[in-house]
Chains A and B, each alone.
Chain A
Amino acid sequence: MPGTLLDWLDSAVEKHRNAAVICYSALFLTVCALLSASKMMSFDEMATYYPAKLPSTSDVIAFFLDGIDVHTPVASLILRANIALFGDGPVANRMPVAFGYLVMSVAYLFLSLADVRLCMQSRP
Chain B
Amino acid sequence: MIFPALTSVFYFATEMRCYGILLGLTGIALVCWQHAAEKRWRRASIAGLFLSLTGALCCHYYAVLLWVPFGLAELTRAKIARRIDKPVWAALLCSPLILVVFLPAIRAAKAAYGANFLVEAISRFHCGNLSRIPHTQFCANPCVSHRMDVSGSPSGQAF
Query: B125 contacts A41, CB within 8 Å?
Result: no
Which residue of B is nearest A118, CB measured?
A: B38
Is the Cβ of A120 less than 8 Å from the Cβ of B12? Answer: no
Q: Majority SS of interface residues in chain B?
A: helix
Give chain B residues whose Cβ lies under 8 Å from the Cβ of A104. 4, 20, 23-24, 26-27
Q: State the CA gap A75–B55 with chains docked (Å).
A: 11
CB A25 to nearest CB in B, in angstroms, measures: 10
Residue in chain A with minimal CB distance to B111: A67
The answer to whether A69 has its CB under 8 Å from any CB of chain B is yes
A58 within 8 A of partner (CB): no
Binding site for B on A (CB under 8 A): 13, 20-21, 24, 28, 32, 35-36, 39, 41-42, 44-51, 53-55, 59, 63-75, 78-79, 93-94, 96-111, 115-116, 118-124
- The 5 tightest CB contacts between A and B, nearest first, are A67-B108, A107-B27, A100-B24, A97-B20, A124-B85
Provide 20 A-B residue pairs closer than 8 Å at the C-beta atoms, listed in order of the A residue. A13-B1, A24-B2, A36-B14, A39-B14, A44-B15, A50-B133, A51-B129, A63-B132, A67-B105, A75-B17, A96-B21, A97-B12, A97-B16, A106-B27, A108-B27, A110-B31, A111-B31, A116-B34, A124-B78, A124-B84
| 12 more A-B residue pairs beyond the given contacts A122-B81, A124-B84, with a C-beta to C-beta distance below 8 A | A36-B14, A67-B107, A74-B18, A75-B17, A94-B14, A100-B22, A100-B24, A105-B4, A120-B76, A120-B77, A123-B81, A124-B83
